[in-house]
Amino acid sequence: MILKPVPMPAGITIIMMMMRELMRLLAWLSPSFPTSAYAYSHGLEWAVECRDIVDKATLGDWLSDVLLHGSARNDAILLRHAHRGGDLSGLNDLAIAVAASRERRVETLDQGTAFIAAATAWHPPELPERVAYPIAVGALAARHGIEEDATTAVYLQAYAINLISAAVRLVPLGQSAGLRVLAALEQVILTVVNDTRAATLDDIGGCAFRADIAAMRHETQYTRLFRS
């Protein structure tokens, strides 16, 4: 007797597809995914040295500004446009051009290139040999039909988690304090997701000047634990 597979109801199939998408996002943007994100502080190391960041309150303020008004917001816009397709090479050139310092440029290119190399098992699309991180994530998520808003939200949360992890080691902060900062940033991240949904490439820019200066000053910082 040959048993035939019983088709799942349409609703169950959709739920399973959504679960697969979520699993892929959690894998790709996990701290354990080999992009070497742990090696970069995005200028935060200099901010700690000059005492702009001394506790969870100042860390939360710093990260909120970067998310709402700085490089994280730009990354969200670039990721969304990469997700929508088009001229990925041109988008990549723009992502490189808007990096505020040499270290920021190295950071995004090293992580993006490592991300695509590690994602080989998921058959990434054709991309430039050296690719900026948000372009790589947006393009791969689109290839697998993963929803744009979800990709943007998880990317921004991973961004915040990495910088909080750096601050826990640098300030230093306790793990509990770091988690309280992450919890407080949830609404900030959702605000950026909402505000960038209709953003055009002309909306790229920012006014988180202190964070940009921190990235530049880090290049000549005397003692460094992080690459940026």
What domain range is 214 assigned to?
A: 38-218
Whole-model pTM over 0.85: yes
**6, pLDDT greater than 50:** no
Residue 19 lies in a domain: no
**5, pLDDT greater than 60:** no
The CATH number of the domain holding residue 110 is 1.10.4190.10
Could you tell me the two tokens for 49?
Answer: 């040295």
| Helix, strand, coil fractions of the chain, as percent rounded to 5 | 65, 0, 35
Residue 182 lies in a domain: yes
Residue 22 lies in a domain: no
**8, pLDDT greater than 60:** no
pLDDT band at 124 (very low <50, low <70, confident <90, very high): very high
Q: What is the per-residue pLDDT across 21-77, written as a single tens digit (0 to 9) for each?
A: 889 999 999 999 999 999 999 999 999 999 999 999 999 999 999 999 999 999 999
User: Could you give the CA distance from residue 114 to residue 130 in angstroms, rounded to a whole number?
Assistant: 9
User: Could you give the CA distance from residue 114 to residue 122 in angstroms, rounded to a whole number?
Assistant: 14
Helix (H, G, I), strand (E, B) or coil at 59: helix
pLDDT band at 180 (very low <50, low <70, confident <90, very high): very high
Q: How many domains does the chain have?
A: 1
Question: What average pLDDT does the chain have?
Answer: 93
Going by C-alpha positions, the residue among 184, 167, 208 that lies closest to residue 68 is: 208
Per-residue pLDDT at 80:
98
Residue 99 lies in a domain: yes
**195, pLDDT greater than 70:** yes
Specify the length of the chain in residues.
228
Residue 4 lies in a domain: no
Q: What is the per-residue pLDDT across 155-174, written as a single tens digit (0 to 9) for each?
A: 999 999 999 999 999 999 99
Say if residues 187 and 63 touch (Cβ distance below 8 Å): no
Could you tell me the two tokens for 119?
Answer: 């994602």
Residue 17 lies in a domain: no
Four-CA torsion 209, 80, 137, 112, nearest 10 degrees: -40
Per-residue pLDDT at 207:
92
**2, pLDDT greater than 80:** no
User: Among all chains, which residue has been given the structure tokens 């917001």?
Assistant: 73
Residue 187 lies in a domain: yes
Four-CA torsion 153, 107, 179, 148, nearest 10 degrees: 10
Residue 8 lies in a domain: no
Q: Supply the DSSP symbol for 220.
A: T
